[in-house]
Homo-oligomer: A and B are copies of this chain.
Amino acid sequence: MSDQPAPVTAAIVVIGDEILSGRTRDTNSNHIALALGAIGVDLMEVRVVSDDQPAIVEAVNALRARNTYVFTTGGIGPTHDDKTADAIGAAFGVAVDHDPRAVAMLRERFPNPADLNEGRLRMARIPFGADLIANSVSKAPGFRLENVFVMAGVPSIMRAMLDVVIPELKTGVPVASATLRADAKEGDIAMALGEVQKAHPSVSIGSYPFTDGDRFNTNLVLRSRDERALANAKAAVEAMLSDMRSGAAAG
């Protein structure tokens, strides 16, 4: 609708061989998805890529060009396999070096100079021109370069960084949703549901089969930024389901 603000969109790049190997399950992108949804930011895509500079650069550059924001998780620790800071520098064509602000943050956590070794100082390597993202858990910061937010992969640290980032973001109108359990198999309601969808184009109606004991059932999820349109579509789906049950009972 013309009086709606422009959509605010986002993508996530999950960086990690351990996710691709299947050894570790990514929980960060689900957490970010829910946090963005709550402020009306549309998550358009998630990519999981390996700890490999060309793969990271390609994903970040493709996604930052067409989304309001990109969030990366993983690869900013002290070890040799942490390649994200250099990859982001390469993606933007800027140098990466020890950042005095980041070094100061690490000094807070490691006041003894012997503890602030070369490995830990790697966590202060930040692309030129980036703003830092505070890390309340373990101090080593994330960073923001233009529309790209670079966060840790450890879930507790990622969440602490996201809490700092969320208030900085442009917001959209949150999508309201309603979930209806059809108590029917998807195939039995598909055509009638398609008609409801056609009659309510501003509401996205999703149909999700699930196993309910020993049979299939269906959740219908209606989503819209327009509360009134959502209520109308929900009433139409409820009427459709009620008609089908009467028909089934009569038949």
| A204 near B17: Cβ-Cβ < 8 Å | yes
Q: How many residues of A contact B (CB 8 A)?
A: 66
| A30 near B37: Cβ-Cβ < 8 Å | no
By a CB distance below 8 angstroms, the chain B residues around A110 are 187
- Tell me the complex Cα distance, A40–B188, Å: 41
Copies in the complex: 2
| B45 near A47: Cβ-Cβ < 8 Å | yes
A48-B46, A197-B80, A206-B17 known; A187 vs B120 contact (CB < 8 Å): yes
Instruction: Name the contact of A43 in the complex, choosing from B20, B29, B80, B190 (C-beta under 8 A).
Output: B20
- Tell me the complex Cα distance, A177–B46, Å: 27
A48-B46, A51-B206 known; A79 vs B21 contact (CB < 8 Å): no
| B122 near A190: Cβ-Cβ < 8 Å | yes
Digitize A43-55: 1 where CB-to-B-CB distance is under 8 Å, 0 elsewhere.
Answer: 1111111110001
- Tell me the complex Cα distance, A31–B25, Å: 10
- Tell me the complex Cα distance, A48–B119, Å: 34
Q: Name the interface residues of A202-228: CB closer than 8 Å to any CB of B.
A: 204-211, 216, 221, 223
By a CB distance below 8 angstroms, the chain B residues around A31 are 22
Q: Name the interface residues of A138-169: CB closer than 8 Å to any CB of B.
A: 138, 154, 156
- Tell me the complex Cα distance, A49–B11, Å: 10
| A193 near B22: Cβ-Cβ < 8 Å | no
Residue A24, interface by CB 8 Å: yes
- Tell me the complex Cα distance, A22–B197, Å: 22
Interface residues of A (CB under 8 A from B): 17-25, 29-31, 33-34, 36-37, 43-51, 55, 77-82, 110, 115, 117-120, 122-123, 138, 154, 156, 175, 177, 186-191, 193-194, 197-198, 204-211, 216, 221, 223
